[in-house]
Amino acid sequence: MKKIKECPVCHSVKFTNYLSTQDYFLSKEPFTLSQCEHCGLVFTNPRPEDVDLASYYNSPNYLSHHAAGFSVLRWIYQFLRKRNIRWKYRLLHSFIPKGKILDVGCGTGEVLNFFKHKGWEVRGIEPNEKARLFATEVYDIPVADEPGLLNLPAESFDVISLWHVLEHVPDLNRRMTDLKKLLKPNGLLLIALPNLASMDAKYYGKYWAALDVPRHLYHFSPDSFLELAIRHGYKLMNKIPMKLDAYYISLLSERYRRRCCTYLRAFIVGYHSNRNARRDLQYSSMIYILKK
């Protein structure tokens, strides 16, 4: 394990213990979260060495890439994913009708395939080999491994998207710098992140599924993410809620708590989280739309 000695965003060395939890999804190992006293960022600390992180994704049930077979949870995941893809397209189309998009952490390429059929020029970055090959062979989408990000030409994309990806990236600051170089002068960077300040995050505490330690290395609130964005010279254009995430994350969290009436409880918590967010705008997941 690697002990983090300074804040990944502001480099302060003053932080406190925020929460103790565990990897409920796979390894069942305990993990601790630290919070920076200066910028408020919460991060997994200590965390696995970078070379060991891949082993924590090694499960056929990791739904970011695998949703084969049938179960109620998989059916819900597939239903929400299809609906979200159409919603993502409409969202982007409202800003840029057509152009060139790079999806970082594109998985098996479903989002890019939808955009491709709408006339966009698409490229992807994906570290998982099986997902990368699926996107390439089934959808005929050019997808490179993570190092391929550095080989792309500067100022070549109208849109760069990271859908629940940035929290997984070991070198946070390097990634934000590299993405900025790839954006066209008027290009948009879309980053979707779980929101640690949401009602469902506070309700579930250590069981909140969006903590997803140690795969999630950082646990952002809107304030701590904006601190990161501003430090890298980005301008916030808009914040968009992902309301369906409250229900899906609540369902996973209920499963981790192993309580009865899982689906009913998850629906109630998701509903109240979204309702509460009407007042404070702290939705379970947020999309940040940035310009350089």
Write the pLDDT tens digit of every residue in 106-123: 999 999 999 999 999 999
**Residue 84 confidence (pLDDT):** 87
Q: Is the pLDDT score of 92 beyond 70?
A: yes
CA–CA gap between residue 75 and residue 91 (Å, rounded): 24
Q: How confident is the model at residue 71 (pLDDT cuts 50, 70, 90)?
A: low
CA–CA gap between residue 71 and residue 82 (Å, rounded): 17
Q: Is the pLDDT score of 73 beyond 70?
A: no
Q: How confident is the model at residue 69 (pLDDT cuts 50, 70, 90)?
A: very low
Provide the mean pLDDT of the chain: 93
Distance of CA 282 to the CA centre of its chain: 16
Q: What is the DSSP string of 47-115?
A: B--GGGGGGGG--TT-TTT---S--HHHHHHHHHHHHHHHHHHHHHHTT-SS-EEEEET-TTSHHHHHH
71-209+231-291 adopts what CATH topology?
Rossmann fold (3.40.50)
CA–CA gap between residue 43 and residue 227 (Å, rounded): 14
- Rounded mean pLDDT of 138-166? 96
Domain assignments of the chain as residue spans, ordered by start: 71-209+231-291
Distance of CA 112 to the CA centre of its chain: 16
Q: Is the pLDDT score of 72 beyond 70?
A: no
Q: Is the pLDDT score of 67 beyond 60?
A: no
Q: Are 209 and 46 in contact (CB under 8 A)?
A: no
